[in-house]
Amino acid sequence: MDATTALLQLLLIIAIALLTPGPNALTAFAHSGLFGRKSNISLITGMAIGLFIMEFTVGLAIDSLSENETALVALHWIGMLFLLAMAVALFKFDVTSLNVSESTGKLGLKTGIAMQFVNGKEWAFVILIMSQYIEPLGGGVVGILSIIAVTLSICIAAMIAWTFFGARLSGLFSDEKNGPRIFKVCGILLSLLWVAFLIRGHNA
């Protein structure tokens, strides 16, 4: 696979992933809806730092196993299982669990960083894209940083968008009638992404 094809595939995967709100997006719009858009600056900065640390660490680990096909296949399927679990979770998502409230207080840098490491969707996403695209995008640290540059810039832009529309989206997503429908559609989109990875296979 050449670098251009790999980049286009990566962009498509990111686009689908961003259409399915995970903990980052849900927290960003709920938090901005409660405390205002400016309150999300430190939260999003923390999310970006946490994502960078996760992607760079996972990337280095996967690159170090580049000669170990068994380990790479195992990591690929771990990511697949995480992604499938997240798709199922979206189908069953309880909108009443959108629990960022004024009593919780404003969330900041440390929370944004910590959130990345307990985010199942993030782990699945990072493991899968790193195991698929490090080599096509230059290999080694170059490939890792190329992936990080693309994912981080787009994800930050997405979090800013979720923040900007927070007040409107919070009510829509938490609505007892429309909320479950929205999350079921998101579950379908995430399932389609899972199928795409399944068809493509490991390092296809």
Q: How far apart are CA 64 and CA 80, in angstroms?
A: 20
Q: How far apart are CA 91 and CA 184, in angstroms?
A: 5
| Boundaries of every domain in the chain | 3-10+41-90+104-200
Ordered per-residue pLDDT tens for the chain, 204 residues: 678 888 888 887 787 777 677 778 878 877 887 787 888 899 999 999 999 999 999 999 999 987 888 887 888 788 788 778 777 877 776 655 555 555 567 888 999 999 999 888 788 889 888 988 898 899 899 999 999 999 999 889 888 888 887 656 666 666 677 777 777 887 787 788 788 777 766 555
Structure tokens at 57: 């660490």
